[in-house]
Amino acid sequence: MRGNEHTISVITPFYRGNAFLGALFSNLERAVETFLKAHPDGGVELILVNDSPEERVILPEGEFCFTVRVLEMPENSGIHAARVQGLRSAEGEWILFLDQDDEILPEFLTRQIDCGEVTGMAVSNYYMEDESGNRMPGYRKRAEMLRLNDEKVYLYSHNVIKSPGQCLLRKGLIPEEWTDRALRENGADDLFLWLLLLEQGKRFSLNETPLYVHRFTGRNLSESVLKMGESTMKAAELLKKIPWFPEKDIQILENARLFDRKWQNGSVSEKAGAVLRHPGIFARRTAMKIRLLFSREYTK
C-alpha cells in the first residue's frame, strides 16, 4: 500500500471496545467500497490500537475490502498515545483518526480525499444525532465552518471541530511535536494537533456536506467541559515546550480555560469575578457570538 496517493490508514484506539467492532467494520466496509469505485488504485487499512491490554481484540468474522492490523499497547496509555502508535505504523498517504464508536457516511473517504487534495487537510460538516436518532447538521451557518481555520477561536473559545473523525489528513503534515509529546489526559490531543497545524500556516479545505455522525451520549455537559478544560491545560504545558509556539497564545488558551471553570459551575458573583479577571476573553467570545448570530444559515 505504500507510495500510493490514494491510500488511507484508519487509526482506531480500542478500549474494551469489542461490542463496537461489528458496527465499525460494517460502516467502514461501506465507505471503502464506495471509495474503491472512485479510486480503483487505492487501498485502505484499519489499524486497531489496543489500549486495554487486559482484553483481547475479537475481530468480526468475514472478508472485508480493507486490511486489518491490531497493535498492542503494553499498558493503558490514553487515546493520544494510542493514536501516535497507530500513526507510526501507518502505511497510508492519508490518515483518519476514527474512534471505535464513530460513524462515517459511505461517501466520506471519497469526498474527503478529493476535498483535501490541495491543502492535505479536509474537514467535513457533521450530523448531530440526538437520543431519538434524529439528525441535524452540526454547522448550520457558513460562518461556523469558516471558523475552523481561525486559530483564535480555538484559543479564546473551544475546539470547534467536534471530532477528529471529521478530518482526513496527509500523514506527512502531522508535526513531530505532536507525535513526540503524548498527552496522558484524554480530551484535548486533537485540539493540540489543530493548534500546531494552524500555527504553522496550514489550513483545512472545508467540506460543507455532513459526512460524519456525532451521537448524543447523555454525558453531563458541565462535567465534560471541566474535564476537557483539564486536558487542555495539560496540552498548554506541552505547548510551552515548543520554542516556536507563541507564549502569548498559550496564555490566552490557559486564561480561557480558567474562565470556563468559573463560568460553568460558579455562582453569580464567581461568574462576575471571572469576567473582571479576564475581560479580554469575555469580550472576544461575545464578539464571536454576535458575528455568528447575524450570519446567514445554509440554504435549506
DSSP calls for the chain: -TT-TTEEEEEEEESS-HHHHHHHHHHHHHHHHHHHHH-TT-EEEEEEEES-TTS---PPSS--SSEEEEEE-SS---HHHHHHHHHHH---SEEEE--TT-EE-TTHHHHHHHHTTTTSEEEEEEEEE-TTS-EEES--BHHHHHGGG-HHHHHHT---SS-GGGEEEEGGGS-HHHHSS---STT-HHHHHHHHHHHTT--PEEEEEEEEEEE-----HHHHHHHHHHHHHHHHHHHTT-TTS-HHHHHHHHHHHHHHHHHHH--HHHHHHHHHH-HHHHHHHHHHHHHHHTSPBPP-
> Is pTM, for the whole model, over 0.85?
yes
Predicted pLDDT at 300: 47
Predicted pLDDT at 216: 72
Cα-Cα end-to-end distance for the chain: 41
Confidence band for 2, pLDDT divided at 50, 70 and 90:
low
pLDDT 10s digits, 204-216: 999 999 999 998 7
- Whether residue 199 is found in the same domain as residue 180: yes
Residue 194's Cβ-count burial label (10 Å; 0-12, 13-18, 19+) is buried
Predicted pLDDT at 220: 46
Domain with 256, as residue range(s), is: 221-293
- Tallying the residues shown for the chain, one arrives at 300
pLDDT mean across residues, the chain? 93
Confidence band for 1, pLDDT divided at 50, 70 and 90:
low
CB atoms within 10 A of CB 60: 14
pLDDT 10s digits, 61-76: 999 999 999 999 999 9
Q: Is the pLDDT of residue 266 over 90?
A: no
Q: Is the pLDDT of residue 177 over 50?
A: yes
Predicted pLDDT at 161: 97
Mean pLDDT for 262-283 is 89
- Whether residue 236 is found in the same domain as residue 257: yes
Beta strands at 94-97 and 7-14: parallel, antiparallel or unpaired = parallel
Contact 265, 220 (CB under 8 A): no
Q: Is the pLDDT of residue 195 over 90?
A: yes
Can you say whether residue 232 is alpha, beta or left, with left for phi > 0 and alpha for psi between -120 and 50 degrees?
alpha
How far is C-alpha 118 from the geometric centre of its chain's CA atoms? 20
Predicted pLDDT at 131: 87
- Whether residue 209 is found in the same domain as residue 225: no
Whole-number percent of the chain with pLDDT over 70? 96
Cα 165 from Cα 214, distance rounded (Å): 9
- Whether residue 230 is found in the same domain as residue 101: no
- Is residue 76 situated within a structural domain? yes
* 179: nearest Cα among 197, 159, 198: 197
- Whether residue 110 is found in the same domain as residue 44: yes
Q: Point out the domain boundary residue: 215, 241, 276.
A: 215
pLDDT 10s digits, 219-259: 544 557 778 999 999 999 999 999 999 999 999 999 999 99
> How many folded domains does the chain comprise?
2
Mean pLDDT for 118-138 is 95
- Is residue 300 situated within a structural domain? no
Q: Is the pLDDT of residue 108 over 70?
A: yes
Q: Is the pLDDT of residue 58 over 80?
A: yes
- Whether residue 33 is found in the same domain as residue 174: yes
Q: Point out the domain boundary residue: 215, 244, 265.
A: 215
Q: Point out the domain boundary residue: 215, 243, 271.
A: 215
- Whether residue 144 is found in the same domain as residue 247: no
CB atoms within 10 A of CB 140: 16
All cell numbers assigned to 13: 484506539
Predicted pLDDT at 226: 76
Cell 486564561, residue located: 255
- Whether residue 64 is found in the same domain as residue 91: yes
Spatial neighbors of 3 by CB under 8 A, at least 6 apart, are none
Contact 245, 199 (CB under 8 A): yes
- Whether residue 280 is found in the same domain as residue 138: no
Whole-number percent of the chain with pLDDT over 90? 85
- Whether residue 136 is found in the same domain as residue 255: no
